[in-house]
Amino acid sequence: MSTLSPKGRDLVRAGRRAFQPTNADRDRLLGALRVHLGDSALPPDVGSVATAAAVGRSIWPLISAVVASIGIVGGALFYSLRSGTEQDNPQAANVAQVAATPQVSDPVAPPAAALAPSPAVAPPMTDPPVPPSGSAHHPQDRLAAEVALLSRATRDLRAGRPAEALKALDEYRRKFPKGLLGEEQRAGRAQALCALGRFDEANEKLAALAPQSPLAVQAKQFCDARLAAR
Partner 1 sequence: MGSKSTAQAPAVSPPGPDISAFSVPTLQTIYKDYFDFVWSSARHLGAAGDAIDDVVQDVFIVIHHKLATLQRPEALRSWIYGIVRRTVSDYRRSRRTRDAAGARLGAEYKSTRPSQPSPLDMAERNAELELLESVLAELDENKREVFVMVEVLEMTVPEVVQALEIPLNTAYSRLRLARQSFEDALAKHEARDEENRKPCRP
CB 188 within 8 A of CB 150: yes
Q: Based on the shown chain and the rule CB under 8 A, indicate whether residue 6 belongs to the binding site for partner 1.
A: no
Alpha helices in 109-161 (DSSP H): 112-115, 139-158
Our CB check for partner 1 shows the closer of 97 and 140 to be 140
Q: Based on the shown chain and the rule CB under 8 A, indicate whether residue 21 belongs to the binding site for partner 1.
A: yes
Q: Based on the shown chain and the rule CB under 8 A, indicate whether residue 177 belongs to the binding site for partner 1.
A: no
In 10 A of CB 202, how many CB atoms?
24
Q: Taking each helix axis as running N to C, give the angle between helix 90-99 and helix 48-83, from 0 to 180 degrees, rounded to the nearest 10.
A: 160
Among 71, 181, 196, 201, binds partner 1 (CB under 8 A): 181
Task: Please choose, from the candidates 56, 30, 53, the residue with its C-alpha nearest in 3D space to the C-alpha of residue 43.
Answer: 30
Task: Please choose, from the candidates 38, 28, 55, 45, the residue with its C-alpha nearest in 3D space to the C-alpha of residue 112.
Answer: 38
Our CB check for partner 1 shows the closer of 16 and 174 to be 16
- Total residues at interface with partner 1 (CB under 8 A): 53
**Positions that interact with partner 1 (CB under 8 A):** 1-5, 7-8, 10-12, 14-22, 24-26, 28-30, 32-33, 36-37, 41-43, 45-47, 124-126, 128, 139-140, 143-144, 147, 150-151, 180-181, 184, 214-215, 217-218
